[in-house]
Each structure stands twice: as C-alpha cells, then as structure tokens.
C-alpha cells in the first residue's frame, strides 16, 4: 500500500487525475443520460418483446417440426403443471380462481374480443387494418407549416399549438412529452415531501393528490373557460398587469400543445405517488455511506438517491405514458382543433359506431393499435413493480427518514413555486368549483356568484341517481374486495402455473380503453339476460367491478408484500389449513391495505364514465351519476345546464377528495398502490 502512494506523489497529476468538470455540464449530462436511459429502456423493452415474439415463433416452428415428441413433452409439462396446481390450491382457492376467470372472461375478454374481431377480418373485400394505413392522416407526416408552434394572431391572442405528425406519431410524442413533464414534476414533489420538513407539509401532501380528482364533462367546459383567450385566467392576468400599466399578451393553448399541458399537469400525481414510495424506502445508510465518501447535495441526489428511486419513478412514468395515450377526455375538450382529433384515442371514439348503431370495424382496428402501445407499456410496468424495492424488503421499508427542516425563507420560496405549479395543475378542479358558483359566464372579469346551481342536489332524479350510484359502487366494491383479495393472494402466495397470466388479467383493465369495452357490452349483451332492454343495472355493476378491479388488487398485493410469508408458514406449521390461515392471519394483517384499496375502487366506480354513459342511456332510471352529469350539462338553465352540472361535479369531487385523503393516510409509504400498479 505504501508503495502506491509514493509513486502518485512523484508523478504529475495528469495521469491519474482530471479537472472537475463544470457542474452545469455535469447536470445537463446526467439529465440527458436520464432521458436517454428512459428511452433506451423503452427501446430495449420493445426489442426484447420483439425477440420474445420471434422466439415464440421459432419455438412454434420447432414444435411443428416434430409434433409427436413435442406433444408428449408438452403433455408431460401439462400433467406436472396440474400436479402443482392440485397441490397448491385447495377447494376454496379453486372456486375463487374459477370465479375470477369467469367474471373476467365474460365481462372483459368477451366484449373486447367481440369488438376487435371485426378489425382482423376481411370486410367487403378489405382488410380493415390496411384501410387505416392507406389513410395518410395516420402515417407519420409533417410539413414545414406544421412546425409553427407559436402563432400570434391579429386579435392580440398568441396561440400555442403542437406539431402535427400524423395520428400515430402524435399520440406517441404527446405521451412522451407528457411523461417527461409528469416525471419532472412528480419527482420534484416526491423528493420534497420525502426529504424535507416544513410548515403545512401535511396539507400539501393531500393537495398534491387533487389533480387526480376526475371531473367528467364539466371539467372540459371549465378548462376552456379558464384557459381561453378571452377566458378567466387571461382576463385576470390582463386586469392585473394593467394595474401596473403593462399589457398582458393573451395566450391560448390549442391542439396537441393544449393536450400536453392539461395531461401533464394532471398525471404528475401518479408519478409523485410512485416516486414518493421509492424515496422513502431507500435505506438511509446507503446515502450516509455516500456522504461519508464525500458526496453531498445535488451530487448525492444525482448519483445515489435518484438512481435508487428509479424503479418507482419508472413505474410511474410508464403509467403516465399509458394513461396519456389512452386518454379520451382531454382530446374531446380540445376537439375543435383538428390536431387534437388526430390522436389514437379520439379516432377510436369517433369511428366506433356506425350509422346503424352497430359497431364499425374501423374504430376497433384503431383501438388495436392503441391497445398494443398501452399493453407494451403495461408489461413494462409489471417488471418495474416487481423490482420496485431496491433497498427495502429486509425491514419492510420503515426506517426513520432522513429529513431536513427548511428555513422560513426557503419555505416561502418553496410555497411560491409550488402554489403556482399547483394552481395550473388544479385548473380543471378549480374551474369546476367556480362554475358551480357562477350564475353565468360573460366577458365580465368575475362572474356573478350564486348558490342556485346547487338546487340540483334537491332534484329527485339526481338524488335517485346518487343513491343508485352509491349502491352500484358499493355492490361492485364488495365483489371487488372478495375477488380482488383472492386474486392478490393467489398471485402472491400460491405458486401455480399461470400466475403471471392471472396477474396480467386482473390488472389489464387499466390498459384497455373504456369506449372499447362499452361498445363491446352494448353489442354483445343488449337484449340478453345480462342486459335486458330496460335494465342496464346488472351490467353497470359488472362493468364497475371489472374496470376498477386493479386498485384493490394492487393495494391487497402491497399489503401482502408487507406481511412476511413466515407468518403464514408459522400458522401452517402448527396445523392450520390454508383457509384458516388466510382468515385468521392474513386478513387481519392486510385488512387496512384492503380497506384502502376498496375505498379507491369505490370512488373510481362513482366517477366511471364510458360504460355509465352508454349503458345508462338504456334506462335513465337506472343510470348512474356520471350519466346525469352529462344530461344536466346538455340541458338548459335554470334547472339544468352547465352551472348545475358543475355543482354535481363538485359533489363528485368532494367524495373523491375524502376517500383519497383517507386512503393516503392509511397506505402511507405504499400509497403508490393507489395508482393501481
């Protein structure tokens, strides 16, 4: 050892040491690496998927080459699989598994297949998928005119647009940018909440979740009102700046740029939850070691903390990607801009019904493309969800967090920054609240306020719809809890073949667009015992059950991960059967997580749109609340109209707010389960 140091001192520093590079450059470089890494990761995943499909094809070919021998091998594997199955499962679990498969098969797979089967067949001599490719609007395309992102107008309003690149590329690049925004914001907030203490932190934590509150139908109107060139915010800004004698340039977002803005600001909550989970499960000793070796501040963050939190961040990022690419609500808001119509979700939506009310094969064909992207991202998430805890596991992730207190001045600066960000993020929600109190909207700076809109809550139809919705959601939630906990338990503890497939099945509803399922329900089940002409009630409940299933499953799964298997082994060891163990040991220990999951599923059921709308139309005496919000919105004041619809929206938001706050408290560090992955 002594020899080495002597040599170094005598030589010039040039061989072993190098000047420290500029911090700015270093930051840029690592940010760049981050982004590149993310996309490399996606690319790798795609390549791996392609390779995997290729291997499957090769294997299939190999199989076909000597079918006899291979069939025997296959049947042997099958038989041993059956043995494992019999050993691991007992009668109760088998019933549970069967129930899950039946429910999902009938109410998810069957409608999906019905809808997409048309796209893969030949209709009138045309292979439908090829039809799409002949339409130039789908293919990647751009012209110099498309790159005018900022378009000043003689009216004094500056319009900000996106870049038109053809439907498929539009969806992809919008989702990519939205993901970047969501990741940046989400990680920033997550790190803030995880590592700093400051006044009002508890309130901020809850408020950060509010962008997740859904505001069907009225949110669209509210956003337009707030963001329009002559809308609320621009008017406010204009009035504000004219006080100082300055002129405010009115800005208006259009097309894809508007979609990026609105989606990015609402999806960051998802990344926030996942990133937060990751940050708090980092073993502090890992960071302490790094500090001990000389890293600190931003370097520490960049080199140790951030990489360790990557699995959670990436899981959140991929979820944001999927939800962005599938989102129909935001493109509809901006659908008067042609660009906004040119995205996959919207194209599915307008092409799904034909004039005769049956299902056009074109919409589902487009839906297939959408589904392919969503499923790819979805498969990627599952990999990360499994890896999420780099450093937890041994102690269940419950260390004392390393937090620092912010000085008063820093807190003020922080709030300035955060409040402005949150302000923009909560535009949909705030606009709905304001709409509910507004008598009408006009060019006046501030609308006249009134409480009259809330009279709609006295309306017997609405009250009926509310009670009905709560009961539908309640029944669906009971079913979700029963089946969901079973599913989570089977997936995490029973080592049967096909476990992964089951996991995919029960979490897949996140990736499947609601319009497709709704259309499937209508064509498959209308006028059958599941959906008698005037009674969509049963199907509405089943649709809730299937579509909002993943949240409870994921929450239960999170609870199971925190419950050491050894607890169950100890129970088995002293003679308790699997079912007794489940009832007496597992359920009490995961009960709280399941409760959180059930609450989430419940609240998401209440705010479900696609199937509620379509099925509710069959008999509005059985229609849920979201259907009525739409009906109210389309009606005319004073009884109906946008104000009262906004009042209903506020009601729905309050319900969601309560549930989300409670659930966040319960799940604490595992709150990322709220996002369903």
Partner 1 sequence: MVSSGELQAGRNVKTIVIVVVIVAVLGAAVVIIILPPPQVGEQTLTILTRHDTSIQSVFETAFLATDFAKQNNIKDIMWKTQAGSYWKQVIDGGGVDVLWGGGPTLFDQMQRDGHLQSLNSTHMLTVLARVPNEIAGADMKRNNTEGQTIWVAAAISSFGFTINKAFLTDYGLPTPETWTDLADPIWGSILPTATIAMGNAPATTSNTRIYEIMTQGMGWNNGWVNLARMAGSARLYQGSVETQSAAETEQVGVAMSIDYYGLSSQVNNPDCEYVLPVNQTIVNGDPIAIVKDTPKLTLAEGFLDFILSAEGQAYWFNPGINRMPVLAEAFLTERGLLHPDLYAVFNKTLANQGIDFNDTLSLLTNAAFIYYFESVFNDAHDKLQTTWKAMVDAYYATNITLPELDMLAAKMGTPVNVTVDLIEHQFTIEYATEINNDILTSDIFRYNMKTLWTAAANAQYDLVLAELLSMI
Partner 2 sequence: MVTIHLVNLRKTFGDVIATDDVNMDLEEGKLTTLLGPSGCGKTTLLRLIAGFYIPDRGRIFFDDRDVTEIPPNKRKTGMCFQNYALWPHMTVFDNISYGLKMKRMNGMKYTPAAIANRVEKVIDLVHMQGLANRTPHQLSGGQQQRVALARALVIEPDVLLLDEPLSNLDAKLRHEMREEIMRIQKELSITTVYVTHDQNEALSISDMVAVMDKGYIQQYASPKEIYARPQTIFVADFIGKCTFIDAEITSLGEYMKARLPDGQVVSGRSPLEGYPFQVGERVRCAVRPEDLQTERTDPTDNEIMGVANEVVYLGSNLEIHFKVGDIDAVSLLPPDAPASKGDKIRLFAPRANVMVLPLGGVDALRKIPGHPLYSQPAAVSSSAA
Using CB under 8 A as the binding rule, whether residue 632 contacts partner 1 is answered as: yes
**483: CB partners within 8 A, 6+ apart:** 96, 99, 100, 103, 545, 549
Q: Of the two residues 468 and 494, which places its CB atom closer to partner 2 in the complex?
A: 494
131 binds partner 2 (CB under 8 A): no
Choose among 409, 388, 146, 131: nearest CA to 276.
388
Among 150, 331, 367, CA closest to 256: 331
Residues 104-123 that bind partner 1 (CB under 8 A): 123
Question: Distance (Å, rounded) from C-alpha 586 to C-alpha 564?
Answer: 10
Minimum CB–partner distance for residue 583 and partner 2 (Å): 12
Choice from 99, 101, 131, 535 touching partner 1 (CB under 8 A)? 131
Q: Does 618 bind partner 1 (CB under 8 A)?
A: yes
Contact status: 570 vs partner 2 (CB under 8 A): yes
By CB under 8 A, name the one of 140, 564, 637, 638 that touches partner 2: 564
Q: How many CB atoms sit inside 10 A of residue 609's CB?
A: 20
Q: Is 572 in the site for partner 2 (CB under 8 A)?
A: yes
- Closest alpha carbon to 389 in 314, 301, 313, 311: 311
- Residue whose CB is less far from partner 1, 266 or 622: 622
Binding mask 460-499 for partner 1 (x = CB under 8 A): -x--------------------------------------
The stretch among 120-128, 171-179, 462-470, 566-574 that binds partner 2 (CB under 8 A) is 566-574
Q: Which stretch binds partner 1 (CB under 8 A): 131-139, 289-297, 421-429, 600-608?
A: 131-139
Contact by Cβ (8 Å): 371, 511: yes
Of the candidate spans 201-209, 267-275, 306-314, 574-582, the one that interacts with partner 2 by CB under 8 A turns out to be: 574-582
Residue 353 found at the interface with partner 1 (CB under 8 A): yes
Instruction: Give the strands of the sheet with 250-253, arranged side by side.
Output: 150-152, 157-160, 250-253
User: Nearest Cα to 180, choosing from 321, 379, 375?
Assistant: 321
Q: How far apart are CA 266 and CA 181, in angstroms?
A: 10
CA–CA distance, 424 with 227 (Å, rounded to integer): 10
Site stretch for partner 2 (CB under 8 A), options 455-463, 520-528, 544-552, 564-572: 564-572
- Contact between 134 and partner 1 (CB under 8 A)? yes
Closest contact distance (angstroms) between CB of 17 and partner 1 is 58
Tokens representing 494? Answer: 């029973």
Nearer to partner 1, 42 or 480 (CB): 480
Binding track over 361-400 against partner 1, x by CB under 8 A = xx--------------------------------------
DSSP state of 640: S
Among partner 2, partner 1, none, the one that 566 touches (CB under a kind-dependent 5 to 8 A) is: partner 2
Under the binding rule (CB under 8 A), the answer on residue 569 touching partner 2 is yes
Q: Which does 664 bind (CB under 5 to 8 A by kind): partner 2, partner 1, none?
A: none
DSSP string covering 269-296, please?
Answer: HHHHHHHHHHHHTS-HHHHHHHHHTT--
Structural contact between residues 525 and 539, judged by C-beta atoms closer than 8 angstroms: yes
| Pairing, β 196-197 against β 157-160 | unpaired
Taking CB under 8 A as the rule, does residue 500 contact partner 2?
Answer: no
Q: Are strands 250-253 and 157-160 parallel, antiparallel or unpaired?
A: parallel
Closest contact distance (angstroms) between CB of 550 and partner 1 is 26
Binders in 252-281 for partner 1, by CB under 8 A: 252
The one of partner 2, partner 1, none whose footprint includes residue 92, by CB under 5 to 8 A per kind, is partner 1
**Minimum distance of partner 1 from residue 342's CB (angstroms):** 9
- Could you say which of partner 1, partner 2, none residue 641 binds, taking C-beta under 5 to 8 angstroms by partner kind? partner 1
Q: Residue 269's closest CA among 394, 134, 422?
A: 422
Q: DSSP secondary structure string, 92-161?
A: HHHHHHHHHHHHHIIIIIHHHHHHHHGGGSEETTEEHHHHHHHSTTTS----GGGG--EEE-TTSEEEE-
Nearer Cβ to partner 2, position 51 or 87? 87
Of 46-54, 355-363, 405-413, 667-675, the window that binds partner 1 (rule: CB under 8 A) is: 355-363
Measured from the CB atom, the residue of 103 and 421 that comes closer to partner 1 is: 103
Of these partners, partner 1, partner 2, none, which one is at the site of residue 353 (CB under 5 to 8 Å by kind)?
partner 1
Beta strands at 250-253 and 126-127: parallel, antiparallel or unpaired = unpaired
Rounded CA-CA distance 222/216 in Å is 11
The residues in 74-103 that bind partner 2, with binding defined as CB under 8 A, are: 87
Sequence-separated (6 or more) residues with CB below 8 Å from residue 268: 181, 182, 183, 184, 185, 186, 189, 211, 320, 425
Beta carbon of residue 383, minimum distance to partner 1 (angstroms, whole number): 38
Give the separation between CA 114 and CA 117, rounded to whole angstroms. Answer: 6
Binding residues for partner 2, rule: CB under 8 A, are 87, 564, 566-567, 569-578, 580, 584-585, 588-589
């Amino acid at each position: 050892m002594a020899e080495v140091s002597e040599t170094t001192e005598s030589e010039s520093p040039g061989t072993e040491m190098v000047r420290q590079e500029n911090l700015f450059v270093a930051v840029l470089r690592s940010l760049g690496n981050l982004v590149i890494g993310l996309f490399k990761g996606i690319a790798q995943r795609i390549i791996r998927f392609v390779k995997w499909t290729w291997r499957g094809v090769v294997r299939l070919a190999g199989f076909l080459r000597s079918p006899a021998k291979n069939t025997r091998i296959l049947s042997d594997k099958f038989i041993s699989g059956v043995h494992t199955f019999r050993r691991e499962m007992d009668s109760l679990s088998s019933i549970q598994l069967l129930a899950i498969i039946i429910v999902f098969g009938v109410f998810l797979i069957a409608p999906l297949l019905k809808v997409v089967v048309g796209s893969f067949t030949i209709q009138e001599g045309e292979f439908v998928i090829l039809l799409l490719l002949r339409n130039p609007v789908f293919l990647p395309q751009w012209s110099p005119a498309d790159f005018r992102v900022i378009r000043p107008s003689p009216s004094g309003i500056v319009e900000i647009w996106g870049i038109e690149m053809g439907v498929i590329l539009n969806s992809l690049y919008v989702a990519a940018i939205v993901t970047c925004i969501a990741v940046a914001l989400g990680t920033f907030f997550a790190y803030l909440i995880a590592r700093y203490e400051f006044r009002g932190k508890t309130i901020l934590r809850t408020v950060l979740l509010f962008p997740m509150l859904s505001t069907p139908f009225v949110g669209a109107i509210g956003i337009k009102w707030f963001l329009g060139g002559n809308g609320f915010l621009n008017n406010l800004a204009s009035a504000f700046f004219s006080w100082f004698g300055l002129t405010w340039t009115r800005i208006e977002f259009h097309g894809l740029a508007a979609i990026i803005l609105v989606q990015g600001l609402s999806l960051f909550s998802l990344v926030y939850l996942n990133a937060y989970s990751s940050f708090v499960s980092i073993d502090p000793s890992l960071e302490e070691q790094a500090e001990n070796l000389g890293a600190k501040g931003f370097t520490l963050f960049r080199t140790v903390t951030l990489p360790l939190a990557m699995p959670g961040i990436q899981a959140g990022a991929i979820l944001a990607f999927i939800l962005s690419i599938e989102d129909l609500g935001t493109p509809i808001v901006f659908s008067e801009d042609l660009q906004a119509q040119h995205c996959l979700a919207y194209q599915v939506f307008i092409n799904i019904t034909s004039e005769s009310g049956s299902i056009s094969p074109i919409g589902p064909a487009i839906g297939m493309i959408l589904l392919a992207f969503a499923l790819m991202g979805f498969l990627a998430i599952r990999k990360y969800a499994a890896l999420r805890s780099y450093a937890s596991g041994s102690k269940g992730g419950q260390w004392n967090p390393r937090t620092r207190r912010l000085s008063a001045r820093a807190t003020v600066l922080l709030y300035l920054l955060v409040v402005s960000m949150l302000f923009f993020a909560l535009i949909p929600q705030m606009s709905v609240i304001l709409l509910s109190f507004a008598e009408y909207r006009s060019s006046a700076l501030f609308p006249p306020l009134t409480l009259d809109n809330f009279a709609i809550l006295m309306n017997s139809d609405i009250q009926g719809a509310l009670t009905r919705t709560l009961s539908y959601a309640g029944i669906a939630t009971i079913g979700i809890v029963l089946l969901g906990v079973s599913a989570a338990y089977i997936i995490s503890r029973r080592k049967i073949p096909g476990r992964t497939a089951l996991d995919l099945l029960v979490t897949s509803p996140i990736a499947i667009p609601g319009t497709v399922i709704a259309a499937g329900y209508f064509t498959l089940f209308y006028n059958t015992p599941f959906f008698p002409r005037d009674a969509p009630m049963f199907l509405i409940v089943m649709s809730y059950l299937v579509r909002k299933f993943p949240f409870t499953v994921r929450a239960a799964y999170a609870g199971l991960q925190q419950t050491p298997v050894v607890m169950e082994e100890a129970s088995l060891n002293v003679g308790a059967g699997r079912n007794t163990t489940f009832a007496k040991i597992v359920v009490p220990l995961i009960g709280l997580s399941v409760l959180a999951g059930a609450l989430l599923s419940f609240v998401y059921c209440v705010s479900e749109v696609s199937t509620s709308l379509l099925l509710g139309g069959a008999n509005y005496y059985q229609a849920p609340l979201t259907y009525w919000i739409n009906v109210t919105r389309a009606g005319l004041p004073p009884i109906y109209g946008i104000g009262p619809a906004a009042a209903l929206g506020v009601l729905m938001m309050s319900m969601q707010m309560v549930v989300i706050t409670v659930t966040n408290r319960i799940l604490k560090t595992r709150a990322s389960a709220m996002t369903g992955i």
